[in-house]
Amino acid sequence: MTNRRSFLKTNTTLAMAAPFLSPGFYPMRKQKRNKKLGVALLGLGGYASGQLGPALQETKHCYLAGIVTGSPSKVPKWQDKYNIPDENVYSYDNFDSIADNDAIDIVYVVTPNALHMPFTVRAAEAGKHVICEKPMEISSDRCRKMIAACEKAGRKLQIGYRLRYESHHKQIMDFAKNETYGKIKVMDTNFSFYGINGSNWRFTDVSLSGGGPLMDIGLYSLEATLYGSQLKPIAITAQSYKSIPDKLPGMEESIFWQMEFPEGVIANCGSSYAARSNYFRVSTEKGWYAIEPAFSYGGLKGVINGESMNIKNHNQQAAQMDAFAINIQNDTPVIASGAQGLQDMVYVEAIYEAAETGKKVRV
């Protein structure tokens, strides 16, 4: 790490100039491609500790370089476990000084949803590329501010849509692109878990979560219908329900929504904190295929017309972060872009509007 940091320090001017030079004319840029980018995790909750920290031990194009946390008590364990130097540890108060730390190329924002915007903006303003965990934020307006901040800073933004980088899900994207089994007719997906009694912010504080299961896990079903069809919906209907009035304040407990896409393609979707489902199915002119479980961190199973897809599971978060690192190194477009995160939030808002009004919402 020391070598990497001292290299970056001596090359700061060149590195800043690099975007304006064509790769072929600038050998230092080529050299930069071959080194791992430093990631700082911002927010050390369950997803950071359970998934992202371990994943960053498997990444080839980036590594866990720093942490940003509002919980000082978490710091020693992270430093010990991942050999993080003191100078790469930040609080939310001194976070903006990360601008001066060349060891950090990427800030991965893993806070509660409604903190994604302020931290993404601060990270971009500090000159860092940003990965923002899903959902992008709690409103499309806030998503737009995040995109604007990253564009203004000339930094890339990825949304933590790990499944857009996962092999089973990439397979079904290819099926849609190539019409391998003919045109898609009907999609059917549900991601639910039984969390009705949960005490986490996502079950208790709508000002942080922005919504119930749709915002949290239904978003995976929504995403799957989009990349799984390679289409954009044109109209949405939805219904939301609650069985225990004093739980999940301000949030739905269960939500179903239906989407119409061009050429009569339709999707029936559901998400609930009071159920147990985890699947994505596609019926086409010539057959069907499905992933079930579809949205877990591992152990996904793909089936085509009843036969296994025979696709290996891999570390989804490592694939996602490596892809982003390569996007930065090669200045290529981000797949799980801020634009996609914003688009999804527009659909989420349409789903909530349809559920609240009982009317079909054109999108």
Site residues for a second copy per CB under 8 A = 185-186, 188, 190, 192, 194, 237, 239, 241-244, 253-254, 256, 258, 260, 263-266, 268, 270, 272, 274-277, 281, 283, 285, 287-288, 358-360
Considering beta carbons, is residue 304 or 345 the nearer one to a second copy? 304
Nearest distance from C-beta of residue 199 to a second copy, angstroms: 18
Q: CB 172 → a second copy: shortest distance, Å? A: 15
What is the closest distance, in whole angstroms, from the C-beta atom of residue 217 to a second copy in the complex?
14
Which CB sits closer to a second copy, 59 or 258?
258
**Whose Cβ is closer to a second copy: residue 190's or residue 316's?**
190
Write down the least CB distance from residue 178 to a second copy, Å: 19
Instruction: Please give the Cα distance from 119 to 100 (Å, whole number).
Output: 17
3-state secondary structure the chain: CHHHHHHHHHCHHHHHHHHHCCHHHCHHHHHHHCCCEEEEEECCCHHHHHHHHHHCCCCCCEEEEEEEECCHHHHHHHHHHHCCCHHHEEECCCHHHHHHCCCCCEEEECCCHHHHHHHHHHHHHCCCEEEECCCCCCCHHHHHHHHHHHHHHCCCEEECCHHHHCHHHHHHHHHHHHCECECEEEEEEEEEEECCCCCCHHHHCHHHHCCCHHHHHHHHHHHHHHHHHCCCCCEEEEEEECCCCCCCCCCCCEEEEEEECHHHCEEEEEEECEEEEEEEEEEECCEEEEECCCCCCCCCCEEECCEECCCCCCCHHHHHHHHHHHHHHHCCCCCCEHHHHHHHHHHHHHHHHHHHHCCCEEC
- Min. distance of Cβ 227 from a second copy in angstroms? 19
Nearer to a second copy, 155 or 281 (CB): 281
Closest approach, Cβ 267 to a second copy, in A, equals 9
Q: Which is nearer to a second copy, 17 or 241 (CB)?
A: 241
Dmax (CA) of the chain: 64
Nearer to a second copy, 136 or 269 (CB): 269
Which one, 276 or 312, has the nearer CB to a second copy? Answer: 276
Rounded to whole angstroms, what are the CA distances from 253 to 41, 171, 211, 217, 322? 30, 32, 9, 12, 35
Q: How far is the CB of 353 from a second copy (least distance, A)?
A: 14
> Nearer Cβ to a second copy, position 59 or 271?
271
Least gap, CB of 221 to a second copy (angstroms): 12
